[in-house]
Amino acid sequence: MTENRVDVGTVDELSQEELVKFAIDGLRRIIVHYGFWFKETEHQLGLEKAFDIENNVWKLDFLIQMKRLSKLLGFEIDENGIPVALKNRTKDELIQLISGIGVNWLANDGVWFQAVEKEEGMFTAKRCNDTCWTRFSPYEAYRIKEFLGLPREGGGLKALKQALSFRLYARINVQSFEEPDENTLIFRMNECRVQTARKRKGLEDYPCKSAGVVEYTTFACSIDPRIKTECIGCPPDEHPEEWYCAWKFTI
């Protein structure tokens, strides 16, 4: 395989299997390069402006990428670059796909955490994780607002409740809501895929409160800056059997 080869002068000299690996590596480079562009745009122009620019970039870039791939690989796309074969799937199949994407997202998060933890320890891994949430949580809120057509600002608790139901987490965990009054929304994570897996293995809860505070505070604020977030309980806090973490949002 290519890991042990030093005698290849050009791509044309690769074997068929090596060509497949090299093509996939090219896709990987595109993804990472896209991330570097976003990161530097944020650095130069701020997070909110980077969200707006990325929104415009994706619309054009996705179509360019899919047109070329569809022509090279021989699959049909519609005018927006969506594979027709994907659109022809049943509703149940698409819901299963969305759930699978949610699981893959969580697995991606876990692999990164464990890789950093292995190299630099738990403290550094948690620090990287918490900082990552300061970017991803507002970005997910932005994407959900764009997808649902929610107000940029001023959507209130109604918009927050709707947005929380469209997070990637919502497809792979079990969550619930309570509305004690018109100015309060209580959100509970009744079943958490990560914590449930740890419980099955006989492990203690993962202490995710520091990340949770960042995650839910920035998500709610990104939906509506007027919303205040309070942690009712989150590991390592003690919690009842019926939920792992709970959050109170007020406006």
What are the residue ranges spanned by the domains of the chain? 1-88, 129-251
Report residue 237 as tokens.
């806090």
pLDDT for res 198: 92
Q: Give pLDDT tens digits along the chain (251 positions).
A: 556 666 888 999 999 999 999 999 999 999 999 999 999 999 999 999 999 999 999 999 999 999 999 999 999 999 999 999 999 999 999 999 999 999 999 999 999 999 999 999 999 999 999 999 999 999 999 999 999 999 988 899 999 999 999 999 999 999 999 999 999 999 999 999 999 999 999 999 999 999 999 999 999 999 999 999 999 999 999 999 999 999 999 99
Report residue 172 as tokens.
């792979």
Distance CA 16, CA 12 (A): 10
Q: What backbone phi and psi angles, to 5 degrees, belong to 250?
A: -130, 155
Report the predicted TM-score, pTM, of the whole model to 2 decimal places: 0.91
- DSSP structure string for 173-201: SEEEEEEEETTEEEEEEEE-HHHHHHHHT
Which of helix, strand or coil describes residue 250? Answer: strand
